[in-house]
Amino acid sequence: MQRLQAEMDEAMPDRKVLLDGAGLNRLPYLNAFIKEGTAALTIESLTLIILDAAGLRIYGAAPSLLERVVPSRLPSVISKSDGDFDMMGYALPPGTIVSTQAWSMHRDAEVFPSPETFLPERWLSVDGSKAEEDRLMRMSQNMMPFGTGSRVCGGQNLAHIMLRIVVATIAKNFNVSADASETNERSMEMRDAFVSVLARFRHIHLIIPVFPRVLQVLFPAAKECKLTFTPRAQ
């Protein structure tokens, strides 16, 4: 948190003047902090961000299986002669459910050493060498907090913009602390569950009827988080 605040102090000497989106995007430690340390735009995830405890990597917004079904008709370039889908040498017949999920990918120790440790520095290049570029590229290729492929989250760019603004503003203006007897690793241990929700979408004059959805959500075991925000000295 101190390194993040130091970067904010240098980039934003006037706490009342926030950098624009392009300026925030150029701050290396802020963006490394967010890559490693944001979950979703919720109070719980913001808590985890500021307390250095979670992340797009560690606790992403979509950690569960992202299932896809092999279609019955496939282009010849990706199918075998018998019609099966060729996935890296494995034949998958039409109708096969294929899935992966971010929870395990983001905890692959071969890609992310000490995977359970919050370490924004892992996203910063040490010397600019080809080996460092390959290391950062491999981590990026294994990151899928917003899903991946043609059904990747359409709001991920907006989410990143909002996260930069929120994290930068809080880090610049407040010191955040917690009473260890109330907010600790045990109370903030992540739980996941499937919930049924009703969604209504409105776009100009078009109203799409309400329809049921089942979503997976992450939440802390205590289902609450108590923090103290202390204004930083001018």
Check the annotation: does 153 bind a ligand.
yes
Determine contact, residues 227/178, Cβ cutoff 8 Å. Answer: yes
Q: Using alpha carbons only, give the angle 89, 90, 94 rounded to the nearest 5 degrees.
A: 130
The structure tokens 């690793």 sit at 185
Query: Exposed, middle or buried: residue 36 (CB in 10 Å: 0-12, 13-18, 19+)?
Result: buried
Amino acid in the structure at residue 23: G
201: CB partners within 8 A, 6+ apart: 207, 208
Q: Which residues does the annotation place in the binding site for heme?
A: 153
Q: Which residues does the annotation place in the binding site?
A: 153
